[in-house]
Amino acid sequence: MDSDPMVALTGQVARDFVGNDAFQETDTTGVTTPVTKDNTFASDPDTVGSDVSEAFALAREGRPGPTLVDLPKDVSNADTDCEPDEPKVPDTYEVQERADPEIVEQAARRIENSSKPALLLGGGVIKGEASEACREFAIEHEIPVITTMPGIGSFPEDHELSMEMAGMHGTGYANMAVTHCDTLIGIGTRFDDRLTGGIETFAPDAELIHVDIDPAEISKNIHADYPLIGDAETVVTQLAEEIETSPQATKWRAQCQQWKSDYSMAYDAPEDRPIQPEFVVEALDEATSDRAIVTTGVGQHQMWACQYWTYTEPRTWVSSHGLGAMGYGLPSAIGARIAADDDQEVVCIDGDGSFLMTLQGLSVAVRENLDITVVVLNNEYIGMVRQWQDAFFEGRHSASEYNWMPEFDKLAEAFGARGFRIDEYDEVADTIEEALSYDGPSVIDAHIDPQANVYPMVPSGGDNGQFALAEDQL
């Protein structure tokens, strides 16, 4: 769902036992067919090397995705003189890089004549290394930029053209822009329901120019008036070369700025309440560099991490988007730490529930001495579920409320990591500083207001233009 290139090598019973319900036998290629881009049962020691090679090529080529090679024990134990082929996709796998020039021309005319244009950048922009091209395109033609959640970081959020993220917990101004634009240029986005809300109310006045490398995404959820199949960077460059005059959109840009002030993301931090989560996220952002990488679990904390951190660089936001898998934060922080440059801090903003799902990964982080900082926004709730139960189920808290919670700082120390705890506003900055300066894994157990909720919110299937700023507006 997140188009992540990944290769899984799975162990299988020996070929003679397949189909016998042998000890630990699983029909791995069968059960993974719906969740992989491609999978193979390696049936022969002479070709297994090429099977693995091809899996690496397929995972990366075109729209990236996970591939799998199932390795029967006797195949992986066998001897062979065969050399694997170079990583190469099968001849039948074709990727269209350049979009149809005629449709590019029509789309360019539409953009030139638009008075309310908007760019909508999705995760495909980052995966396709098209952020720079999109940035130049937006700035050259002064087009306001909205992102999806996976598209965060594709355009600098501190730029005046940035409207930030749209959708269920997007900014009010991004949702106003997407609802009122007359031309929407969607690049590398699959128009997920968390972005669109109800499809009949999504961008109702807009003609859609849809750029995607995967033809299956075109007009899947939202009808594309200008379908542009191709690589994001290539197609944006084609569009840039075709456009002769920038759209005349001064009034529209002023309107977008007005929405930014009307629906600003300012928040209250009353002294008589526990710490507000937004304050912790902003303090972390301030204490780290622009290239710091943020990973998250899934829930309220994930949304605050989207909303209150100002992302300015691609590949600095790492989260579970399409599947929304809790427990993603720490393992992905470990992966990010190994992949990142030494001068990039890696911060995992986690929820207490999400952290509990995979915190045993601390053993890896300690063993490998990985410099990561986990900040648990601890509300002692399965918070997002509690928020929905309050908003839509008369406050009946079912399986969302704990009556105890481990002390995460002490748990971290037990693993051999550094542990910290925050209860008061005046502890926030110093504790973050200390945790970040520790050269190894650290965990801050930040006790936040258990009643804090995530807004704005467009209820599931709702109209993006009718976002609620508080529970009583739902």
Ligand X SMILES: Cc1ncc(C[n+]2csc(CCOP(=O)(O)OP(=O)(O)O)c2C)c(N)n1
Q: Which of 297, 314, 361, 441 binds ligand X (CB under 6 A)?
A: 297
| 329 part of the interface to ligand X, by CB under 6 A | no
| 351 part of the interface to ligand X, by CB under 6 A | yes
| 344 part of the interface to ligand X, by CB under 6 A | no
Q: Which of 177, 382, 436, 457 binds ligand X (CB under 6 A)?
A: 382
Q: Counting Cβ atoms within 10 Å, is residue 44 exposed (0-12), middle (13-18) or buried (19+)?
A: middle
Which residue's CB is nearer to ligand X, number 48 or number 377?
377
| 352 part of the interface to ligand X, by CB under 6 A | yes
Q: How far is the CB of 464 from ligand X (least distance, A)?
A: 21
| 305 part of the interface to ligand X, by CB under 6 A | no
Q: Which of 169, 301, 315, 447 binds ligand X (CB under 6 A)?
A: 301
Q: Which of 40, 288, 358, 379 binds ligand X (CB under 6 A)?
A: 379
Tokens coding 472: 């009583």
- Among the listed ranges 24-32, 102-110, 381-389, 425-433, the one in contact with ligand X (CB under 6 A) is 381-389
The beta-carbon contacts of 272-275 under 8 Å, at least 24 apart in sequence, are: 273/449, 274/423, 274/447, 274/448, 274/449, 274/450, 275/422, 275/423, 275/424, 275/425, 275/428, 275/446, 275/447, 275/448, 275/449
Task: Write the DSSP string, 84-131.
Answer: PPPS---TT-----S--HHHHHHHHHHHHT-SSEEEEE-HHHHHTT-H
Which residue's CB is nearer to ligand X, number 227 or number 351?
351
Which residue's CB is nearer to ligand X, number 75 or number 280?
280
Asked if 178 and 215 touch (Cβ cutoff 8 Å), the reply is no
- Among the listed ranges 30-38, 101-109, 347-355, 408-416, the one in contact with ligand X (CB under 6 A) is 347-355
Question: Residues near 417 by Cβ (< 8 Å), separated by ≥ 6?
Answer: 362, 365, 366, 440, 441, 442, 443
Q: Which of 137, 202, 308, 381 binds ligand X (CB under 6 A)?
A: 381
| 298 part of the interface to ligand X, by CB under 6 A | yes
Do you know the residue count of the chain? 474
- Among the listed ranges 159-167, 203-211, 267-275, 297-305, the one in contact with ligand X (CB under 6 A) is 297-305
- Among the listed ranges 54-62, 178-186, 224-232, 350-358, the one in contact with ligand X (CB under 6 A) is 350-358
Distance CA 232, CA 128 (A): 6
| 169 part of the interface to ligand X, by CB under 6 A | no
- Among the listed ranges 12-20, 107-115, 139-147, 296-304, the one in contact with ligand X (CB under 6 A) is 296-304
Asked if 206 and 56 touch (Cβ cutoff 8 Å), the reply is no
- Among the listed ranges 9-17, 36-44, 68-76, 299-307, the one in contact with ligand X (CB under 6 A) is 299-307
Q: How far is the CB of 384 from ligand X (least distance, A)?
A: 4
The beta-carbon contacts of 200-207 under 8 Å, at least 24 apart in sequence, are: 201/462, 201/463, 201/464, 201/465, 202/178, 202/464, 203/178, 203/179, 204/179, 205/116, 205/179, 205/180, 205/181, 206/118, 206/181, 206/182, 207/110, 207/182, 207/183
| 325 part of the interface to ligand X, by CB under 6 A | yes
Q: How far is the CB of 276 from ligand X (least distance, A)?
A: 13
User: Side-chain half-sphere of 452: how many Cα atoms within 13 Å?
Assistant: 26
| Helical (H) or strand (E) element with 53 | helix 48-60
- Among the listed ranges 35-43, 56-64, 211-219, 323-331, the one in contact with ligand X (CB under 6 A) is 323-331
| 385 part of the interface to ligand X, by CB under 6 A | yes
| 324 part of the interface to ligand X, by CB under 6 A | yes
Q: Total residues contacting ligand X (rule CB under 6 A)?
A: 20
| 299 part of the interface to ligand X, by CB under 6 A | yes
Q: How far is the CB of 27 from ligand X (least distance, A)?
A: 24
Which residue's CB is nearer to ligand X, number 68 or number 325?
325
Start-to-end CA span in the chain (Å): 29
Q: Which of 353, 419, 441, 456 binds ligand X (CB under 6 A)?
A: 353
Distances (CA, A) of 302 to 38, 326, 403, 408, 421: 30, 10, 23, 18, 20
Distance CA 440, CA 417 (A): 7
Q: Which residues bind ligand X (CB under 6 A)?
A: 297-301, 324-327, 351-354, 377, 379, 381-385
